[in-house]
Amino acid sequence: MRRVLGAVLAVSLAVVIGAGDARAQGGPPGVLQIAVISDVTLNPFTLPQQLPTLMVSKVIFGTLTRYQPGDGKPVGDLAASWKTMDDGRAWEFKLRPGVTWHDGKPFTAADVKFTLENIVNPQVKALFRSQLQGLQRVDTPDDLTARLVFKDPMPALPIVLGYNIYIAPKHLLDGKDLNTLDEFIRQPVGTGPFKFKEAVKGSHVAVEANPAYHGGAPKLHTVVFKVVPDVNSVVAQLRTGELDLAVVTANHRDTLASAPNLAFKVTVLPSTFYLALNNARWPFNDRLVRHALMHGLNRELMVQRLVRGDAPLAGGPYADAFGPYVNKDLKPYPHDVGRAKALLAEAGFTPGADGVLQKDGKRLAFSLMVDKGNPEREQIALYAQQSWKQLGADVKVDVEEWSVYIKRGNQIPSGDYDARTSWRITSADPDKTAEYTTGGVNNHYAYSNPEVDALMAKARSTVEEGARVAIFRKLQEAIYRDVPVVWIYHQTEILAMSKRVKGYPDLGIRDALPWVHQIAVP
Amino acid sequence: MDQTAVLEGGMARDAGAERGVADAWRRFRRNRLAVVAFAYLVIVHGVAALAPWFGLPDPEAMDLLNQFSPPSSEHVLGTDETGRDVLARLVFGARASLAVGLAAMLVAVAVGTALGALSGFCGGWPETAIMRLTDGMLTVPTFFLALLVLAVFGSNIGNVVLVIGLTGWMVVARVVRAEILRALPQEFVVASRALGASEARMLVRHLLPQALPSVIVAATLGVAYAVLTESALSYLGLGVQAPTPTWGNMLSGAQHYVWKSPVLALYPGAAIMLTVLSYNALGDALSDTLDPRHAGS
């Protein structure tokens, strides 16, 4: 017991000392220090560890397209130009000439063919295979032309290709087991602005400037990705200048607001956070109940007070990041408890003896599942519980381990839950077949509306931009009327950035990293 | 025990017991720290038991327009990150934390006493089996075992109590066995055996009472272990689940706001620390007071 107490005291002492405000110093000039939450394994196909690996991959590897600062439109990276053929079923990409791999070998269409065909190869556990679903083959009429042939039209292909489809070197990887790549991950070779230098487990990954980069020599000489798993340490290191860039929560932005060396950048992501209602289960199969739960929740207050970070209130699944496809006429449903109660009465619910509403002898009782460990999401679940209780619903909050949450929730045609907190981040491709059509792979809440299915299919096969926009706006109306889930807000990324950092492109960190050669740290 | 009490037999035995209690109390009182700890524990348990009758705000009611509010007449210790009353959560948290602590201690004492008595009294292979099991359990890092069990079977109050109880009985078992082994050859046991007392009667009437003082000490220290373990489990998200407040999950929630509102961590942290220290002080004092070897000192 005494030893335990001693340990507790030692830890608290360390926390107190750590909290002392050290002077902001910053790293050496020409070196950018970015936080990642775990070690990375630089396999451009399987991308283990996901986000941290993606961040490092974005500076080492190239993609065919990337997103333009400001408006986020897809522009060329390894591709110089492209055009569609065969009603959007085929796309021809002209590659940028004179690009070389970090080992000096030339980059050609053969690399593109090798990479893309392996991503859709079922033997390879490529993380982003579903994005290229329907890719039949890649033709290479010459060294600088790649023609992608799909089963169905792919109107948003240039957006999709910029979203983590890294091109890998055929001359080094051909014939290797792409799921492991033991040798390659120790010394990865790409076409990006930075070359791999070293990786020290539990400490950092360092990359150095590639002077031969096709976009011009980088202004930095080194980028260091520091492995900092603990968010309180990230905050402390931002303050002291040991980190130049890190994604933080709204809560930590408030903490850091007083730090003179830091600035913040907020980006709305193509993502939505919502409370999923299992449409396959009673009482959520009744649209009136779903509407009532939507009206009964003060989402505006939740966003202001629990989420913050300037997150916009969501009226549907389309964040501003989806650009022209967003139907701005659809305003988020207002908070109106009276309306909510009236809707429940209309649905046939009457107060029971225990104060809980009931219909045909069934109590309005359900559980709300939330993944464990994230205070913001737990607070949202608890607040929804409290708000819906006021409507007369008996809600039980069910806090589950991440693995259980995923296993129970991520099933089709419907997950094993009544309601749960959920969110989805995608590319800016407005196609939401996976989320909002009958049987869609991410439609775990069993939403089904034949009108939406038909419109989504029509949008997929429509290449002409104006017509596509019109279809997407129309299908949003149908989804909006149905309230399949209770949308709450569109997620934002809050980037804390040292004021030493110059030339940071107007994009979220994920999309900004392919432009890292423009960033300077004098 | 007082020599005279034994000599004078029958009638005098009660008087002797009374004097024993008086002696014990006198010795206990001399230990200032223990008295303070005891008073603190009485207050904390009293407050926890009577929590619903203090007219405190609902500890689970959020008020998003009143986050992190400073102490006021309405919220004596202010509010937390979702506008819940900190004092109410602290008081109702005490309820959960102490209830889990005491219940887990009861489980540990029941299991430990049963196994200890069985092994001390029976001897032979049951003793060997039980004591090797005890040694085995003592080598297992019980906290990680508890984590594993809760992760597999899910965490609710019942499981938390069982897990803490079933990983904390070993010391009690050893103590009880030792006391029984010490008592077995003594004259009063031999005498009762000679008079034809049944085994069960001997165990319950003569042997276990000998172990009682040591069990009380072990139980007191056991509560400290249980409260601390519950806090640690809740801190890691595997203890009592939200929205029920406990000191451990209050601390866990507060860690995200250590930069912004450090007092939120201070209150439950101090409550845990004082309670555990008090139980330890009380346990130490009781062991001094109740141990027959200290008698007459």
Q: Is the pLDDT of residue B252 over 70?
A: yes
Among candidates B82, B151, B243 on the partner chain, residue whose Cβ is nearest the Cβ of A397: B243
Per-residue pLDDT reduced to its tens digit, B86-142: 999 999 999 888 999 999 999 999 999 999 988 888 888 988 999 999 999 989 888
Q: How far apart are CA A354 and CA A154, in angstroms?
A: 55
Assess B81–A contact: CB distance below 8 Å, yes or no: yes
For residue A137, what are the β-bridge partners? A149
Comparing A358-362, B22-26, B78-82, B97-101, which segment has the lowest mean pLDDT?
Answer: B22-26
Supply the pLDDT for residue A392: 94
pLDDT at position A305 = 87
- Count chain A–chain B contacts defined by CB atoms under 8 A: 61
* Reported confidence tier of residue B204, pLDDT bands at 50, 70, 90: confident
pLDDT of residue B8: 41
Candidates A4, A15, A238, A252, partner chain B, best to mutate (most B CBs within 10 A): A4
A interface test, pick of B89, B258, B284 with most A CB neighbours within 10 Å: B258
Q: What pTM did the predictor assign? A: 0.77
Decide if A251 and B228 are in contact by the 8 Å CB cutoff: no
The whole-angstrom separation of Cα B98 and Cα B241 is 15
pLDDT score recorded for residue A22? 42
Interface touch A382/B243, C-beta < 8 Å: yes
Of A8, A235, A401, the CB nearest to B259: A235
Q: Does B68 touch chain A (CB under 8 A)?
A: no
Q: Which residues pair with A115 in a beta bridge?
A: none
Question: Phi, psi at residue A290, to the nearest 5°?
Answer: -65, -45
DSSP string, A366-383: EEEEEETT-HHHHHHHHH
- How far A309 CA sits from the closest chain B CA (Å)? 15
Q: Which of A9-23, B33-47, B188-202 has the lowest mean pLDDT?
A: A9-23
- Specify the residue for token string 């129309």: A474
Unique residue bearing structure tokens 């019942």: B158
Query: pLDDT in tens for each of the 522 residues of chain A?
Result: 445 455 555 445 444 444 444 445 577 899 999 999 888 999 999 988 778 899 999 999 999 999 999 888 899 999 999 999 878 899 999 999 999 999 999 999 999 999 999 999 999 988 888 889 889 999 999 999 999 999 988 888 999 999 999 999 999 999 999 998 888 999 999 999 999 999 999 899 999 999 999 999 999 999 999 998 877 889 999 999 999 999 988 888 888 988 999 999 998 888 999 999 999 999 999 999 999 999 999 999 999 888 876 889 999 999 988 988 999 999 999 999 999 999 999 999 999 988 899 999 899 999 999 987 778 888 999 999 999 999 999 999 988 877 788 889 888 889 999 999 999 888 888 989 889 999 888 899 999 999 999 999 999 888 888 999 999 999 999 999 999 999 999 999 999 999 999 999 999 899 999 999 999 998
pLDDT of A434: 86
Of residues A147 and B14, the one with the higher pLDDT is: A147
**By three-state DSSP, how is residue A301 classified?**
helix
What pLDDT is attached to residue A476?
Answer: 96
Whether A306 sits inside 8 A of B151 (CB atoms) is no
Task: Identify the bridge partners of residue A207 per DSSP, sorted by sequence position.
Answer: A196, A223
User: Which pLDDT does position B2 carry in this prediction?
Assistant: 43
* Mean per-residue pLDDT, B245-259: 85
Whether the pLDDT of residue B24 is over 90: the answer is: no
Is residue B74 pLDDT above 60, yes or no?
A: yes
Q: Do B243 and A385 touch (CB under 8 A)?
A: yes
> What tokens appear for B123 in the block?
């001897």
Handedness of CA B232, B235, B236, B240 (dihedral sign): positive
Report ipTM for this prediction. 0.72
Provide the pLDDT for residue B31: 85
DSSP state of A100: B
- B237:A383 CB<8 A: no
Residue A74, C-beta contacts closer than 8 angstroms, at least 6 positions apart: A65, A66, A67, A68, A158, A159, A161, A162
Q: Give A140→chain B minimum CA distance, Å.
A: 53
Whether residue B292 is predicted with pLDDT greater than 60 in this model: the reply is no
**What pLDDT is recorded for position A501?**
94
Secondary structure (3-state) at A488? strand
Answer yes or no: do B60 and A306 touch at CB < 8 A: no
The SS3 call for residue B29 is helix
**pLDDT value, residue A393:** 96
DSSP B113-129: HHHHHHHHHH-HHHHHH
What is the structure's pLDDT at B19? Answer: 66
Please judge whether B259 and A301 are an interchain contact, meaning their C-beta atoms are less than 8 angstroms apart: no
Question: Residue A298's pLDDT is what?
Answer: 94
Give the residue ranges of DSSP H helices in A333-393.
Answer: 337-346, 375-391
Minimal C-alpha gap between A375 and chain B (Å): 7
- How far off is chain A from B67, nearest CA to CA, in Å? 8
Average pLDDT of every residue of chain B:
84
Residue B293 is predicted with a pLDDT of 57
